[in-house]
Amino acid sequence: MAGHVTTSSLSASFGDIQAIDDVTVEIPANKVTAIIGPSGCGKSTFLRCLNRMHELVPGAKISGEVVWDGKNIYGPGMDATEVRRGIGMVFQKPNPFPLMSVEENVSAGIRLTGGRMSKAMVAEIVEHSLRLAALWDEVKNKLHKPGGGLSGGQQQRLCIARALAVQPDIILMDEPCSALDPASTQKIEDTIDKLKQNFTIVIVTHNMQQAARVSDSTGFMLAREMGDPGRMIEYGPTNKIFTMPDRKETENYITGRFG
Amino acid sequence: MSEYVQTPEEEGGNTMMPAPPALPGAVPAAGAHGGHQPERGPDTGGGLYRQSNLRRRSRNIRSRLAHALCALSTVIAMVPLALILFYVIYQGAGALNFSFLTSLPKPVGESGGGMGNAIAGSLILIGIAAVIGVPFGVLAGTHLAEYRSPRLSWIVRLLSDTLSGVPSIIVGVFVYTLLVLTFKQFSAIAGGVALGILMLPTVARTTEDMMRMVPDTLREASLALGIPRWRTITSVVIKTAGGGIMTGVMLALARIAGETAPLLFTALSSRTWPMGLDKPVASLPVQIYTYAISPFDAWHKQAWAGSLVLVLMVLLLSIGSKLYFGRKMQRAR
């Protein structure tokens, strides 16, 4: 099954500041993995290392391995754009392309990554992706309206559809609901639940209830002190992390004692 | 008018709403938060927001004074523009007619004739300038905005700022030595090159500014889809910044359309229709200059008409670019 990722001794830094240190985890295919932890613990950096987005920041450095279905994505001969096509990303704030219509937004990935495709084929992928993202019924009459005209929750699902259209194995979500209201959050969580049949999902979230609701396994990250790099304190099945964590820090965090 | 100006209701606030008697033991701040719109009336019991009537009045007076000064400065700045427009229309409209736009200049003493060749020449020169200035300017701006290599960017930005400060006549002299002396020929191309160089810094700078206004989240969105860097720039960044870049280009064109000095010894002038890009051509600004300093009344009139055409061309360009950009922005919203 495609979409299996393991990291070994993954460390990343911005210039002189080390953001994460020695993260070794195994992310199973077709499951939802949640990464939780207080602000500044490196969860987003960890996520961005998984599809080579971290290296876009000037001064970024990475060491260790990220192995995606047997290939080290930082290995020689690996193309960053190829990696990102297989490992898509949804960001914290919905960021549809403002001058593109709903349809153009969804098809952007397939239109702009080379490869020619017939119009009918593109239309089919657009519809399929929008259906997967549970947005089709709401936008099928507005396909040619600007994507920026949708509501915040719809924009975020548009971004999910846009990521799905490139047909990745894995979708990384960086706090996808933090800018949304509860009703939109609910819709996105339902979408995540359906998507895991076909995709591996890694979701970074501030919201522990959300992690408990949507994920199969959970990783807890923590930077011990300000300026310390974030480490993966505990990683395991979500049930276990939230009911009987092995580590004191995890327990303190999930019981709301800090963070 | 400013939103800061007080409404009559607000001004009357303190007389209509007398201070409630202080409750024994009440903390002053509690009154302030007690729902009597404390920030409005100074005497509603809020110690935190209490302000003397005098101070408030003085603040109002100062606010109005500042406002009046701004309005006055605006009017003063607009007066020359209005006068120029009015005077050019007043003087030029009389001599302006269809044949002025389409016919060749007549020799001294003969009535009629026009600046058709100068208008055509100006359009040719602007066209050549655009062919040179737009691609190089946009590419330089793209480099500055997208490929952030600090050293090279610093040098390019310095050069571009210096170039925009170089007097246009110096650019003319430079092109004169570079092209006119080399090929022993005044030509439309030499004139166009000079104007194109003058366009470069404006186009590069607006392109850079407009591309920097495109939020990084859009670049990330595109790169995260596996779209290559160059494609992200051409299809997402330039597309999003396109309206602004267009405006910059049109304003740069409007600016060079009126340049005279660099054309005097590059494109020279001509009393015939343009004969080819390697031959001298007439241009509106040079023609206006020649006619304006001549001793003939009929030529003076024609210079005014030519000025009117030039002003209208520039106005059309800048208004057109504003409308275009405005519509683009509306679509983006």
Closest-CA residue of A relative to B231 is A112
Beta bridge partners of B128: none
| Percent of all residues in chain A with a pLDDT value above 70, rounded to a whole number | 99
| Residue B254 CB coordination number (10 Å) | 19
Domain at A5-254: CATH code: 3.40.50.300
User: Residue A184 pLDDT more than 60?
Assistant: yes
Q: B129 to each of A54, B177, B249, how far by Cα in Å?
A: 42, 18, 11
Give the integer Cα–Cα distance in Å for A203 and A214: 9
First to last CA, chain A: 36
Q: Are strands A200-204 and A32-36 parallel, antiparallel or unpaired?
A: parallel
Give residue-wise pLDDT tens across range A6-45. 999 999 999 889 999 999 999 999 999 999 999 889 999 9
Residue type, A1: M
Give residue-wise pLDDT tens across range A63-95. 999 999 999 999 998 999 999 999 999 999 999
Give the integer Cα–Cα distance in Å for A247 and A245: 6
Q: Name chain B contacts of A53, Cβ cutoff 8 Å.
A: 220, 223-224
Give the integer Cα–Cα distance in Å for B58 and B63: 8
Residue type, A53: M
Please report, for chain A, the start and end positions of each structural domain, with discontinuous segments joined by +.
5-254
| Superfamily of chain region B98-332 | MetI-like (1.10.3720.10)
| Contact: A84, B239; criterion CB under 8 Å | no
Question: Does the ipTM surpass 0.90?
Answer: yes
User: Residue A124 pLDDT more than 70?
Assistant: yes
Query: DSSP letter at A97?
Result: -
pLDDT score, position B330: 59
What is the dihedral angle through the alpha carbons of A93, A95, A96, A98, rounded to the nearest 10 degrees? Answer: 120
Closest-CA residue of B relative to A145 is B331
A47: CB partners within 8 A, 6+ apart: A35, A89, A172, A174, A202, A204
| Contact: A51, B222; criterion CB under 8 Å | no
Contact A11, A48 (CB under 8 A): no
Q: Provide CATH 1.10.3720.10 ranges for chain B.
A: 98-332
| Contact: B222, A89; criterion CB under 8 Å | no
**B227, B235, B325, B330: best to mutate for the A interface, most A CBs within 10 A:** B227
| Contact: B225, A113; criterion CB under 8 Å | yes
Closest-CA residue of B relative to A162 is B225
pLDDT score, position B51: 64
pLDDT score, position B166: 94
**A95, A107, A125, A158: best to mutate for the B interface, most B CBs within 10 A:** A95
Give the integer Cα–Cα distance in Å for A64 and A37: 22
- pLDDT band (50, 70, 90) for residue A248: very high
pLDDT score, position B1: 41
Q: Name chain A contacts of B148, Cβ cutoff 8 Å.
A: 58
Per-residue pLDDT of chain B (333 residues; tens, 9 = 90+): 444 444 444 444 444 444 444 444 444 444 444 444 444 444 555 555 566 788 888 899 999 999 999 999 999 999 998 999 999 999 999 888 888 899 998 888 787 888 999 999 999 999 999 999 999 999 999 999 988 778 888 898 899 999 999 999 999 999 999 999 999 999 999 999 999 999 999 999 999 999 999 999 999 999 999 999 999 999 999 989 988 898 889 989 998 999 999 999 899 998 999 999 999 999 999 999 999 999 998 899 999 999 999 999 998 888 888 787 777 665 554
Give the integer Cα–Cα distance in Å for B223 and B118: 49
Q: What is the pTM of this model?
A: 0.78
pLDDT score, position A227: 80
> CB of B327 within 8 Å of any CB in chain A?
no
Closest-CA residue of A relative to B333 is A148
Name which of B220, B225, B242 is nearest A108 (Cβ-Cβ). Answer: B225
Q: Which of B250, B253, B249 is nearest to B137 (CA)?
A: B249
Give the integer Cα–Cα distance in Å for A51 and A82: 10
> CB of B322 within 8 Å of any CB in chain A?
no
Beta bridge partners of A62: A12
pLDDT score, position A224: 85
